[in-house]
Structure 1
Amino acid sequence: MSTSPIAKKMKSTKVIGTHSGTFHCDEALAVFMLRLTDEFKDADLVRTRDPAKLEPLDIVVDVGGVYSPEKHRYDHHQRGFEEVFGNGGFDKIKLSSAGLVYKHFGKEIIAKRLGTNIDDEKVQTLWFTLYSEMIESVDGIDNGVNISSSPVAYAQRTDLSSRVKRLNPNWNEEATDAIYDEKFTHASKITGEEFLSQLDYFAFAWLPARDIVKEAMEKRFEVDPSGQIVVFDKSCPWKDHLFTLEPTVSPSSSSPILYVLYPESDAPGSKWRIQCVPESPDSFKNRKSLPEPWCGMRDDKLSEVSGIPGGTFVHASGFTGGNATFEGTKEMAKKALSF
């Protein structure tokens, strides 16, 4: 009896488990992130709350009442759960399933996206940054942590968690398990698109700007003896880097950096901008605003009021302005220092 030279082989697939029914941003994102890893890239998904069905699965997130990385169990609802990110000072907000998956698999995901090894310094930097800029908010919202202890000035309902919440079937719509599963797939895709968009921005735009900002800060005394004016030869993301680097390149708090100058574009003859350094990266309050008489002025009127030719505008709030030339913008900064 002969045997066929072609042997049929069943596909070997890992299976991710999470809970059925109403879904949230954290497990939708956790599932997407797991599928970015080598181990779970082709994983199937089972959504159930039945312990017997969850038990044999390769990895379970947001259900099951167990947190055990060794067993690939990543729930955060059980009594006594206190796990935080614990790196880079992030120790105030307990992790959701998204935070747990990111804590244990995030470096691998980032390294794979960058095409580098997990020990690369860039991976560590991005691991902290993406947690701060995205994952921490998902953890906070899922765990019911208010963004502020004071009354907020306005509602914010366009965040990722709110968008995912609206994808659930409405109370007056049909809501079978199949419908929930279909909508969950869509939700996971949306969270993943946001995750990869932010990762790519920080990896390929934000991080490369760090060297530009550092070099400009080190040369600031060549611009003005005060050291309070920084000039960038191109527009780039600078705020986060300035605040991170300032303690090392400008240890004296007596002369904080107040203004940054940069061209509006890379085109020859580009106009230039001046921008005030805020009190913190997310603050709308400046360390030192542009002079009040300049605020809201444009073109010839601005040039007349400031005494600097080539003025283009100063924002009504005084946080930014412009001039036709670098020399004019530099003069605006110098005058503003002593105003």
Structure 2
Amino acid sequence: MSKKLKMSPLKICTHSGTFHADESLAVYMLRTLKQFKDSDLIRSRKEADWDASDIVVDVSGKYDGKKYFDHHQRDFSDVFGPGFKTKLSSAGLVYKHYGKQIIKENLEIDNDKEIDFLYDRVYKDFIEAVDANDNGINKYDDQDQLKPNFRDRNFQLSSVVSNLNPSWIIDPTDADFDKAFEKASEIMGFAFMNYLEYMGKSFLPAKQYVEAAIGSRHEVDPSGKIIVLDRFVPWKEHLYNLEKELGIEGEILYVLFADSSSAWRIACVPVSASSFDSRQKLPEPWRGVRDDALSELTGVPGCIFVHAAGFIGGAKSKEAVVKLAQMAL
């Protein structure tokens, strides 16, 4: 009876010495996949080590989308896809080819539409900033530009990773760099997975709640300008998208939801997701007033507060915030 041959673990190779955020993340992303789960990491600038590896990132001067994923070639100018202009780094290259597989395996999602949405969104909100940072691309083309070239609110990690490189004072060895690289990869991976899981397990499932609330808005008030969520979910972006789909853009003014303390909130819908201005603020006389004084002013029992800026308020019951929203109309 013949014995089964033990398969050798796959080998991921990246360059030795000083490391950066892009290959730290690229290696982490590959390691989340079943095929690379138990892989060995080789950090080397030797061609013999590249040849002996199964996948090579951020080194070799080659890119073929199969084994080699380097972006340092003089003629390299690849971007994520149509509409993008940020040149890819090793993180972007790995994500471009393995991103959908990473999403599918880590989030256990089979819905192609959801995978496509997350694939594009995670690149825009996380990976593109890594690519831009590694390639020395400014966020703005000039100081007077109002619209940025890419989003970086979820990426402020490049300096953290850079500072993990061993100090020249200790005359570091390759082993010192290799040990520090593992920590850098762990940090980049933690941040990436935290955002990926938020998008896949929190943001996406919230859509059904917002959709249901919009569908029953006329039961809350005949105007259809108030929606009620029985629990808090990330609602803003879903609200804007669903309004556009339904042809009711700008119509919903107030979103009511239960908060973590079992009280209820009334939130004014912002003009846009990034705006501090609201479509319609709560009445000026209510702003900055609290508790019994607010209940006496409005005639609604159980009031808690209205923010001084008028964009949010709270009360002890659903009935109370519904009444406040109706009055605010």
TM-score range, shorter chain: 0.7 to 0.9
Task: Identify the residue that residue 15 of structure 2 maps to in structure 1.
Answer: 19
Give the one of 81, 95, 99 matched to 1:106: 99
Give the one of 246, 251, 259 matched to 2:254: 259
Counterpart AA for 2:160: R
The CA deviation at 1:173 is 4.1
**Alignment: residue pair count:** 322
Q: Deviations over 1:91-137 (max 9, x none)?
A: 132222111111111111221123354x6433223223322332222
Change (3 A) 1:40 1:230: same
- 1:44 paired to 2:36: no
Counterpart AA for 1:18: T
Task: Identify the residue that residue 313 of structure 2 maps to in structure 1.
Answer: 321
Task: Identify the residue that residue 81 of structure 1 maps to in structure 2.
Answer: 76
Kindly report which structure 2 residues correspond to 1:52-131, keeping only aligned pairs within 5 A, or say none. 52-70=48-66, 72-86=67-81, 91-117=84-110, 120-131=112-123
Task: Identify the residue that residue 187 of structure 1 maps to in structure 2.
Answer: 184
Counterpart AA for 1:300: D
Task: Identify the residue that residue 303 of structure 1 maps to in structure 2.
Answer: 295
Distance of 2:226 and 2:143 partners within structure 1: 35
Counterpart AA for 1:168: N
SS in 2 for 1:245: helix
Counterpart AA for 2:210: V
SS in 1 for 2:13: strand
Task: Identify the residue that residue 208 of structure 2 maps to in structure 1.
Answer: 211
Conserved? CA contact 2:62–2:71, under 8 Å: yes
The CA deviation at 1:224 is 2.7
Q: Deviations over 1:198-240 (max 9, x none)?
A: 2222222222111111111222233233332221111111122
Distance of 1:210 and 1:178 partners within structure 2: 48
SS in 1 for 2:189: helix
TM-score, normalised to structure 2, is 0.86
Distance of 1:170 and 1:294 partners within structure 2: 58
Change (3 A) 1:262 1:84: same
> Which range is displaced more, 12-21 or 303-312?
303-312
**Structure 1: which 5+ residue stretches go unaligned?**
none
Task: Identify the residue that residue 239 of structure 2 maps to in structure 1.
Answer: 242
> Which range is displaced more, 98-107 or 286-295?
286-295
Distance of 1:65 and 1:290 partners within structure 2: 59
Task: Identify the residue that residue 137 of structure 1 maps to in structure 2.
Answer: 129
Counterpart AA for 2:163: R
Task: Identify the residue that residue 285 of structure 1 maps to in structure 2.
Answer: 277
The CA deviation at 1:264 is 1.5
- 1:161 paired to 2:161: no
SS in 2 for 1:208: helix
Distance of 1:35 and 1:128 partners within structure 2: 21
Distance of 2:104 and 2:199 partners within structure 1: 13
Change (3 A) 1:64 1:306: farther
Conserved? CA contact 2:126–2:155, under 8 Å: no
Distance of 1:8 and 1:104 partners within structure 2: 32
Give the one of 24, 43, 55 matched to 1:28: 24
Distance of 1:196 and 1:77 partners within structure 2: 26
Counterpart AA for 2:267: Q
The CA deviation at 1:59 is 1.2
Change (3 A) 1:214 1:283: same
Change (3 A) 1:281 1:31: same
Distance of 2:241 and 2:217 partners within structure 1: 16
Distance of 1:159 and 1:274 partners within structure 2: 33
The CA deviation at 1:77 is 2.5
The CA deviation at 1:9 is 5.1
Quote the RMSD (CA, aligned, Å).
2.8
Counterpart AA for 1:303: S
